[in-house]
Structure 1
């Protein structure tokens, strides 16, 4: 789920320059896709000397020091750029930050604002799940920003994180064994954002639900087993156990278990033929991520 985002990002762009705020531990996938198309990327970071910022430099990203909570920083960074890519972490500050980014984008005349929300944002808002993202969507509409809104489902990449995915040799999640779990590779979110900037006539004004695959939890465990050579067992966690610790997460899982997320994967694949299913993601991205985490555990 996108409330698992740990770091806010802002990426702005024009024909010459794409501009980014990111406190990420690796290069942003949107950065990769924009750079691959010959764009220039500028990153607004709190600490330009931090490893998270320094890792962006070899790729050719311009680093600018600033703060996403400071409108003056945002305004300075957005000067003379074409568009903005914005996604905030799920936190108490989410709505404030997201609306603030949109306000500045409108003030400086940004021509294309790409916002990454969450799958089925309106329905989740009704269920009191990640309400900030729906509020930001509504604010973007109220401002009349020329925008594209991307609504990703759960992240395939989250399964490499012990807190959200595989811990040891177990995949213990509150998703029922027969539930089709809607997932998207983070890299594909970046691809769709880049498509939006490259083809504004096709993407401006659109809200796009992003799903690349819908495997069941046992299928996920089996696929990870094949890719990594480690036997991964799926264990279903009681939703009531989750509810005692995190009521919002439990409401989100209720929605998934009810097959609430909807997206037309076939139509998405026409737009993006390289859209990854779970096994393809494991082959191209996930296996290496699992191996890197395993190496870090064993020194």
Structure 2
């Protein structure tokens, strides 16, 4: 068995792509687990040296094929809002990883889990599965018998540019960041590429990062500061439009709206000075927008 072979789950997502790039740059062989190997994002990973494995987490045989020969796994999952698929599939991956001789799992979850009272705060909310099920998977990872590292990232900068912005903030193309955060909200922003750097840092030094839960953010910005940076990068004025309490109450079954409420106070759950001690070069939001200029203009 080669000593530096990693399976990257959801390899074409923003985190998976970043982890794949950083692993390849650090001398690893990467098994990129993808739904569609003909997708342009998958082909882009193949072009930089990743080995593509087609499958889905619901098909254990495809996971088993992809995990053979791997010594490490990057586990990140989309939440399920309808059933326990996230925990079931995670348990299946972990069972297969242990059987295949995987030595280290790096698992990416979510920053709200730093709040010890989060379960009470979001009880009954439609967004609860996106947080609480990740907490359940964390426990599965910790109990797996495999060396583990957990990363809890903040608010993805990619939510504020194309293509995600069209879904997250559909009025942004008209110069309006319509949101339920409120004018006092500060978001702990993170470039997913930085998550990739943290994951590979852990993969490359498992003895140091075994059993660690690492909170990750690159910069804390208010909503007003975010709109200023979007205006600067796009060359067009972007204004924050805050939804009223009445509007939020009417939309309380909406996952996106509830997710924005969940982000209020998120900045208090991560210490940027502590994040800096890891030595990872963190991307500012301004630099991120400059690096993704075409997506901003889109």
TM-score, length of structure 2 as denominator length: 0.84
Matched, 1:66 2:55: yes
Other-structure match for 1:280: 287
Q: Does 1:57 align with 2:46?
A: yes
Tell me, yes or no, if the aligned pair for 1:175 and 1:253 is still in contact at 8 Å. Answer: yes
CA distance in 1, matches of 2:265, 2:4: 45
* Aligned residues of 1:210 and 1:268 also touching (Cα < 8 A): yes
Measure, in 1, the Cα distance between the counterparts of 2:256 and 2:33. Answer: 31
- CA, structure 1 residues 189+246, in 2 after alignment: closer, same or farther (shift >3 Å)? farther
Match of 1:164 in 2: 168
Q: Which runs of 4+ in 1 moved over 3 A?
A: 13-16, 122-126, 242-255, 258-261
Q: Does the CA contact (< 8 Å) of 1:242 and 1:249 recur in 2?
A: no
Matched, 1:22 2:16: no
Out of 203, 215, 218, the residue aligned to residue 209 of structure 1 is 215
Count of matched residue positions in the alignment of Structure 1 and Structure 2: 279
TM-superposed CA distance for 1:17, in Å, is 2.5
| Mapping 1:181-220, distance limit 5 Å | 181-220=187-226
Q: Write the mapping of 1:110-189 to structure 2, written as runs, cut at 5 A.
A: 110-121=102-113, 123-126=117-120, 127-128=122-123, 129=128, 130=130, 131-160=132-161, 161-165=165-169, 166-189=172-195
Query: Aligned partners of 2:45 and 2:252: how far apart in 1?
Result: 34
**Conserved 8 A contact 2:191-2:283:** yes
Compared CA separation, residues 227 and 100, structure 1 to 2 (3 A): same
Change (3 A) 1:51 1:249: closer
Root-mean-square deviation (CA), in Å? 2.4
Greater CA drift, 67-76 or 180-189 = 67-76
In the alignment, structure 2 segments of 5+ residues that lack a partner are none
